[in-house]
Amino acid sequence: MVFDGTASGNANRLKGYLNGVEQTLEYSGTIPAAAHSQSAIFRIGKDQANNLFSQGSIDEVSVFSSALTAREVDALYNNGKPTKIRTTPNLAHWFRMGEGKLDGKSDGDENLLFDQGPNGGLGSELVTNGDFSDNSVPDTYDGSSAVNLVGWTSGGATFTADAHFVITDGKCRLISDGTNTVINSGTTVAGRTYRYSIDLTDVTSGGLTLIGGGVVLEANATSPRTYTGFYTATSATSAISINRQSGVTDFTFDNVSVKEVQNVGTINGPRIQADGGTELVTNGTFDADSDWSHSGTTISGGTANFSVSSGGYIFMNQSESFVDGSTYQLTATVNGTASKEMRFMDSGANNGGLTTSNGVVAMTGSAQEVSITFTANANSSTA
């Protein structure tokens, strides 16, 4: 759909295209010269007022800051094949519905959709002095009273000589005798999504509890490593809070970061699938004798080898998660004795969507490429 408030008449102000071709629309009333200004949530697949839901698939959702010409619409259609539009002039938002990525996450992870347009990505850093390079205040207890590290505030009990934070060698150390000892930095907006990261570099005792935007991010981190993820704030509060889990605690951390995810979408119900699907099989190239359960077969040299005596059969499989009613494509390269058969099934009981009725391949005596499309059912469970 293309809206152009500068044009005259309904037919020029609002145009609809299907497969790159402009369609004839029926109008009710007069299309206004300016779109309504509101802060309501932009929803796809639901009529909020009537609580109605759509059924079907949608892909490559994009929003532009100016009206597109017929030529530009046709170029985007690209004969039905998705095109990368990141550099398209006046692109405001682009939700790829499966191919979107941000900071190691993909569309669908944690029920998020990542804007791949120029207004997506991560915002500015919310944590001040997250690398603890400013040690002008090196300790939250100065020997007689509690003070705050630069960029951080207290969120728990009053700091003491036995319960405080101290900056050492460019890192921050929490030492507590069991007192609830907390520091905070940054502020969130309720309903917005953020990416957090912290390096837990050393743990002598106790564990780290991490809270952001009113959400518990890490309940009891005890292993030194980088902890990172996303959260949607439930309240306007600290972007990050560093706490001890319980009891006597002594751990060191560094490189604390929180950034808002710009114009992120959320998913409630739909299943996200990348174009071409996501590979379900692990070690399908048979690089090692692992990941497969097998009887009578061998894995070596990048192939799975079947040697069957007269009248017998052997097999190999691995468990997979299929969705009842969804369509899948199996591909494989096979080579075997002419007139012999290989069977592919998605259920050991031969009652899934891929059975001996549609999963049998006749050997030709030479290598052949196999491609089988099937619809999984409630019994589908193996590959």
As a whole number, mean pLDDT of residues 47-68 equals 87
CB 155 within 8 A of CB 186: no
Lowest mean pLDDT of 47-61, 108-122, 208-222, 250-264, name the range: 47-61
Q: How confident is the model at residue 179 (pLDDT cuts 50, 70, 90)?
A: very high
How far apart CA 100 and CA 84 sit, in angstroms, is: 11
Put simply, whether the predicted model's pTM sits higher than 0.85 gets the answer: no
Structure tokens at 202: 């050393």
DSSP track, 265-305: EE-SSPPP--TT-----SSTT--SS-S-EEESEEEETTEEE
What is the per-residue burial (b if ≥16 Cβ within 10 Å, else e) of 146-164? eeebebbebbbeebeeebb
Q: Is the pLDDT of residue 325 over 90?
A: no
Tens-digit pLDDT profile for residues 298-323 = 998 889 998 887 667 788 999 988 88
Q: Provide, rounded to the nearest whole percent, the portion of the chain with pLDDT above 70.
A: 98
φ, ψ at 205 (rounded to 5°): -155, 155
Query: For the chain, which domains are there?
Result: 2-96 (no CATH), 153-261 (2.60.120.260), 293-375 (no CATH)
When pLDDT is averaged across residues 135-156 and rounded to a whole number, the result is: 95
CA distance 57 to 67: 25
Sign, CA dihedral 337-340-343-349, equals negative
Give pLDDT, residue 275. 75
Of all residues in the chain, what percent carry a pLDDT higher than 90?
A: 66
Residue 14: closest CA among 30, 1, 33? 1
Give the pLDDT score at 314. Answer: 85
pLDDT band at 381 (very low <50, low <70, confident <90, very high): confident
Q: Read off the pLDDT of residues 348-365 as tens digits, 9 standing for 90 and up.
A: 888 999 999 999 999 999
Arithmetic mean of pLDDT, 10-24: 94
